[in-house]
Structure 1
Amino acid sequence: MPEQVLKRVLTVPVYDVADETPLEMAPLLSQRMQNKVWLKREDLQPVFSFKLRGAYACMVKLTDEQKQAGVIAASAGNHAQGVALAANKMGIKATIVMPKTTPPIKVNAVKRLGAEVVLHGDAFDEASVHANQLMREHHYTFIHPYDDYDVIAGQGTVALEMLRQHPKPLDVVFVCVGGGGLIAGIAAVLKQVWPSTRVVGVEPEDSACMTEALKANERVVLKQVGLFADGVAVAQVGEIPFRIAQTCVDEMITVSTDEICAAIKDVFEDTRAIAEPAGALAVAGLKKFVAQREVAGLEMAAIVSGANMNFDRLHHIAERTEFGEKREAIFAVKIKEEPGSFKQFCEDLGARRAITEFNYRYADSKQAIVFVGVRTEGGRAEQHQLIDSLRGKGYEVEDMSENEMAKLHLRHMIGGKAEGLQNETLYRFEFPERPGALLNFLSRMSEEWNISLFHYRNHSDAYGRVLVGVQVPPVQKDAFEIYLNELKYPFICEQDNPGYHLFLNTH
């Protein structure tokens, strides 16, 4: 199977539409990682993503009849632009089905290239089902984003360029993974020419379909898919990419949203380019690999796969970068409710330590609970030392630095506890960012359930972050569970979250 991919890679005419992108040294990352780090700049393609390689490689083989019928594709954005550009070049009608959560920058780019855009569903898999339905109705030719040998061969030309651009085999190559087309093409080529090169796939923690498939030794369907890295928001890896990965991919790494945000900053500092979340995945994986293995002196490359991101998202990314780099810690700390206690607490933190946040509201005559953000340049080791120091001085400290609810919501809404609430349960939701999402949530809810807390936070992302407290009588718990499952919005029960009991709950 890898041999079949390599033969196609050697003959596919991708440069009719694609550029050969540079393999650039990243001096700042190299210095920090103590390894030589190279960035394969696929963000410099005409559509700011590698996806046009595979799209054109597939479409150039269409028959005259297929060209006349037109093509259709489902995509969260980058494959859509690749298909649209290839169709424009070849004079073919193109219809693209995109999730409603797709960033406008990608939707508008596809329209500018002359394709018809159909918005459907909240994630790629729903868009794909609808695209297949339209294909059957109108007899279009479906251009799959990753589960196709020609598409995989087109993506494999990235590796072919790396072979020419680097004088000797790289030690490790990091590749982002969504449906698996890119890593399948790259791994199939590298493992036949540079068999000693370690190929590492990188996925978000909340969209790790290849990781789970390789663990299970079969393709699995994820129940929920995170939307932050929308370019890799796929519930099931492709069949062909999975089979190739089983023999050609050495390992998988998963990274958090905060680690992705920090990687976006790393790419920017070395290139002055802004990668999209999926585009920076490989860099985040590289950093985590180095930290976990404590390796040095290696030659490493990461594929910067795309740069299609709404500018408005940068606010959220910049905020979370501090956590991804472990340069900010947040704590809940109990201090005495008396004059001078805050000053004493700051002194105990250390006169030179920068406090980034301090939230508090009077609730008790003897004790105050404060929400504190602190700059920590020394990473988690320094944060743990700080916690130990505060506890040694008699403070009760709850570390919130890895607490998702605290980072997204609590820091913006600390203000006391409501009295007299019964049967309250706290949930954190991800709402698809589109008209009607909130109304859908409310209209399905029983009138016997009372919303006791509602906090919404969004930075023009593909989804909104919502924290909701709901009062549900014990006898209706089963009905409420059914409601949650039928709603199909990703959710997490935060009832046992220490932040809830410290700041919001009186019981």
Structure 2
Amino acid sequence: MTQFALEALAATRALRALFEPTPLQRNDHLSARYGADIWLKREDLTPVRSYKIRGAFTAMRKLRAADPGADHFVCASAGNHAQGVAFACRHFGVKGTIFMPVTTPQQKIDKTKVFGGDAIEIRLTGDYFDQTLAASQAYCTQAGAHFLAPFDDADVIEGQASVGVEILDQLGRAPDLVILPVGGGGLAAGVTGYLRATAPQTSYRFVEPLGGASLTAAVAAGAPVTLKQVNSFVDGAAVARIGALPFARLDWVRPEMILRAPEDRICVTMLELLNVEGIVLEPAGALSVDVLPELADEIHGKTVVCVTSGGNFDFERLPEVKERAQRFSGLKKYFILRMPQRPGALREFLQMLGPEDDIARFEYLKKSARNFGSVLIGIETKAAENFPALTRQLDAAGFSYRDITDDEALAEFLI
């Protein structure tokens, strides 16, 4: 057994002071669908509803062991890492200063306060995370405190490796495949570092959000690179640059081992898990399950573990998730319709709608000509194949229209 594997075992034992192993649950619904033995490693069920507590606790424990006088820790985070650090500060009875962007939702601020109690102070600084990070590091130097990085830290990686330790213990055998979400890379580096040493026959797939594929870019370049643009919807994994230490431990990963999940498709997966299984996952937490359809042929008859990395989902985002899911599934479309300004034109259009079609949005934009007006119309239906029937009728009747569902610029402005 490697030195890293031994350290991962020690980190796992130490974590028992905080919480019992998260469940490894066989999912009958997914297993039946794919003809496989599919298990979910429920990191959404830690005390802070994400795996981040593992790395934060381990790094803090080891820093205090090396320096018993260490009593002040600093981090920058708008989400799960902040909550993990807050929980660990309260456990050890040390001071924590947590920097969060000014734009952080109040729900996340409140949860971090609950986990940290009187042990922590939250400072809201910067509109963007880079500004928040810079402020936290400057403060940390000034205060002589210890900075806790979210993923680019050897002790954090060691703590995340405890997920792999628990998987092997709970399953009682090596899985054929482990599917891991990737953001900064700490979880992937830790879990694979342990399992490659103890279960060499296991294979891996890594999943990134399509709009934040930092591992894909790093593998292509042979080193971490900074993405020019990141889609922040999958906030738990939308990282512009994978960590240097995690990537150094993932340098064996090949491009075909990485999958990229479209943000809107992730919403479909989130809703299915919520409605069918009653499992609440944040977007990053659903990444590993989202790619199962792409792997259907490969996983048939095999034992597969999907790490559901977090469940910190703000239900105020549910309408957005539903909207994205419907649009991805072809069940909702938006059109700009050039409506003739004559009696009966609207009635004529409404009669084209089928029994499964429903108007979700109807808004006159402007009168574009003397005899015509532009209308923004949103239509929901129960089956995607209903839309071609509608557009055929529009064409036959001579209505002028434009489908703007996938036009990001117009959709952002009008919808």
TM-score w.r.t. structure 1 length?
A: 0.71
Tell me how large the CA RMSD over aligned residues is: 3.1
Tell me the residue number matched to 1:363: 368
1:214 and 1:99 mapped to 2: Cα distance?
Answer: 30
Contact persistence 1:67–1:92 (CA under 8 A): no
Tell me the residue number matched to 1:434: none
For 1:85-104, list aligned pairs within 5 A.
85-104=87-106
Deviation at 1:307, TM superposition (A): 2.2
Label 1:51 to 1:75 Cα distance change in 2 as closer, same or farther (>3 A). same
CA deviation string 1:341-371 (max 9, x = no partner): 3343344443443343333454334445443
Contact persistence 2:207–2:258 (CA under 8 A): yes
CA deviation string 1:459-499 (max 9, x = no partner): xxxxxxxxxxxxxxxxxxxxxxxxxxxxxxxxxxxxxxxxx
Deviation at 1:337, TM superposition (A): 4.2
Worse-matched range after superposition: 358-367 or 312-321: 358-367
2:126 and 2:292 mapped to 1: Cα distance?
Answer: 33
% same residue: 35
Worse-matched range after superposition: 156-165 or 64-73: 64-73
Deviation at 1:241, TM superposition (A): 0.9
Deviation at 1:15, TM superposition (A): 1.7
**1:263 equivalenced with 2:264 (yes/no):** no
Label 1:348 to 1:236 Cα distance change in 2 as closer, same or farther (>3 A). same
Deviation at 1:138, TM superposition (A): 1.8
For 1:114-193, list aligned pairs within 5 A.
114-166=119-171, 168-193=173-198
Worse-matched range after superposition: 328-337 or 43-52: 328-337
- Stretches of structure 2 that go unaligned for 5 or more consecutive residues are none
Tell me the residue number matched to 2:289: 283
Tell me the residue number matched to 1:375: 380
Q: 2:305 aligns with which of 301, 306, 324?
A: 301
Deviation at 1:127, TM superposition (A): 2.6
Label 1:215 to 1:122 Cα distance change in 2 as closer, same or farther (>3 A). farther
1:407 and 1:284 mapped to 2: Cα distance?
Answer: 25
Q: 1:340 aligns with which of 344, 347, 361?
A: 344
SS of 1:354 mapped into structure 2: strand
Contact persistence 2:50–2:80 (CA under 8 A): yes
2:277 and 2:47 mapped to 1: Cα distance?
Answer: 17
RCO comparison, higher one (Cα < 8 Å, 6+): 2
- Stretches of structure 1 that go unaligned for 5 or more consecutive residues are 412-507
Deviation at 1:50, TM superposition (A): 0.7
Label 1:401 to 1:168 Cα distance change in 2 as closer, same or farther (>3 A). farther
Tell me the residue number matched to 2:257: 251
**1:235 equivalenced with 2:244 (yes/no):** no
CA deviation string 1:394-451 (max 9, x = no partner): 554433222234444424xxxxxxxxxxxxxxxxxxxxxxxxxxxxxxxxxxxxxxxx
Deviation at 1:20, TM superposition (A): 0.8
CA deviation string 1:91-114 (max 9, x = no partner): 222222222233323322332312
Tell me the residue number matched to 2:82: 80
TM-score w.r.t. structure 2 length?
A: 0.85
Contact persistence 2:356–2:382 (CA under 8 A): no
Label 1:108 to 1:358 Cα distance change in 2 as closer, same or farther (>3 A). closer
Tell me the residue number matched to 1:109: 111
Deviation at 1:195, TM superposition (A): 4.1
Contact persistence 1:124–1:234 (CA under 8 A): no
Deviation at 1:17, TM superposition (A): 1.4
**1:9 equivalenced with 2:8 (yes/no):** yes
2:184 and 2:364 mapped to 1: Cα distance?
Answer: 45
Contact persistence 1:41–1:304 (CA under 8 A): yes
Label 1:116 to 1:218 Cα distance change in 2 as closer, same or farther (>3 A). same
**1:311 equivalenced with 2:311 (yes/no):** no
Contact persistence 1:326–1:377 (CA under 8 A): no
Tell me the residue number matched to 1:52: 53
Deviation at 1:180, TM superposition (A): 1.0
| Residues matched between the structures, number | 407
**1:204 equivalenced with 2:209 (yes/no):** yes
**2:278 partner amino acid:** R
